[in-house]
Amino acid sequence: MAAPPSVTSSEGARDFVQGLGVFDATLLVVGIMIGSGILIVSADMARQIGGPGGWLLAWGIAGLLTLAGALFYGEWAAMMPWAGGQYVFLREACSPLWGFLYGWTLFLVIQTGMIAVVSVAFVRFLGVLWSVIAEDRCLIPPGHLSEGWALLVQGLWAAALVLLRTFHPETGTYGNLYSNLLDYVISAALLFYILTILGIFRLRAKWPDRERPYRVWGYPIVPALYIVGAGTTLAVLLHHRTATTWLGFILVLAGVPVYGLLRYIRARIGA
């Protein structure tokens, strides 16, 4: 059997080997998409919408919006099959700063927040059977997860996020921890989803003759609809869930001076 082909990035460096097949990639996508949200968010939606028709309509609209975004990610990946994924897309379409901010946010907000979300969901369901670790009683100090400092810091931050809740002085109660964490993660993630889809417009103008093994249908209407839908969702979150979305955006902005500092250090070392 011939060895899988390697991938060459824009800088000419050899990256990871393309060893995953269609079956492997499908399992990865299924594992990423089907998480704890379908088990918890559905119930919250049903309580707030109040009827099966509106509930199904909301899921249908969200599904179409997700499909539109996924199709354009497919065009990105086919055009630039390099290691790095969305970081590479944002770096090429926007600037190295936005690529860095995505990686920074993935570490501090998106990926770390999702670890905390899944942890809370696990405790919520297991707490039904074992009340000792119910969601409102669980307080487990974080342990040593790995010898790697990056994994350790990420684990500690995820554990810290589980301890955060918004307090409502008027009622004397705390907010829903699971929903709070989802707001924290999704608001920051939506910002980069929108930027990535906007990048399609720029790169089609910047590289009109570049080979695209897959060209998504419906351009420019479909990406425009996605941007409008995702932008509306983000605006609603910022307006109605300000207390649980501001932290994510502050952490995104905090990456700007860090990026500047790293560039300065790199320039000094290079000099």
HSE-up (13 A, CA, CB side) for residue 54:
8
With a cut of 60, say whether residue 162 has pLDDT above it: no
With a cut of 70, say whether residue 163 has pLDDT above it: no
With a cut of 50, say whether residue 140 has pLDDT above it: no
Task: Say whether pTM exceeds 0.75.
Answer: no
With a cut of 50, say whether residue 241 has pLDDT above it: yes
In single-letter form, the type of residue at position 65 comes to: L
Percentage of the chain exceeding pLDDT 70:
75
pLDDT at 242: 80
pLDDT at 145: 40
What is the C-alpha separation between 247 and 232, in angstroms, rounded?
Answer: 19
What is the C-alpha separation between 174 and 120, in angstroms, rounded?
Answer: 15
Q: Long-range CB contacts (< 8 A, 24+ apart) of 96-100?
A: 97/256, 97/259, 98/195, 100/255, 100/259, 100/262
Least reliable range by pLDDT among 11-20, 179-188, 233-242: 11-20
CB-count burial class (<10 Å; 0-12, 13-18, 19+) for 75: buried
Alpha helices in the chain (DSSP H): 22-33, 37-49, 52-79, 86-93, 96-105, 111-129, 149-162, 177-206, 221-240, 242-270
What is the 8-class DSSP label of residue 213?
S
Give 70-111 pLDDT, tens digit per residue.
888 888 888 888 888 889 999 988 899 999 999 988 888 787
In single-letter form, the type of residue at position 67 comes to: L
Least reliable range by pLDDT among 48-62, 153-167, 191-205: 153-167
With a cut of 80, say whether residue 23 has pLDDT above it: yes
pLDDT at 134: 60
Least reliable range by pLDDT among 20-34, 64-78, 147-161, 191-205: 147-161
What is the C-alpha separation between 127 and 124, in angstroms, rounded?
Answer: 5
What is the C-alpha separation between 263 and 266, in angstroms, rounded?
Answer: 5
With a cut of 90, say whether residue 38 has pLDDT above it: no
With a cut of 80, say whether residue 257 has pLDDT above it: yes
Taking residues 116-141, report their average pLDDT: 67
Where in 82-199 does DSSP place strands (E)?
Answer: 167-168, 173-174
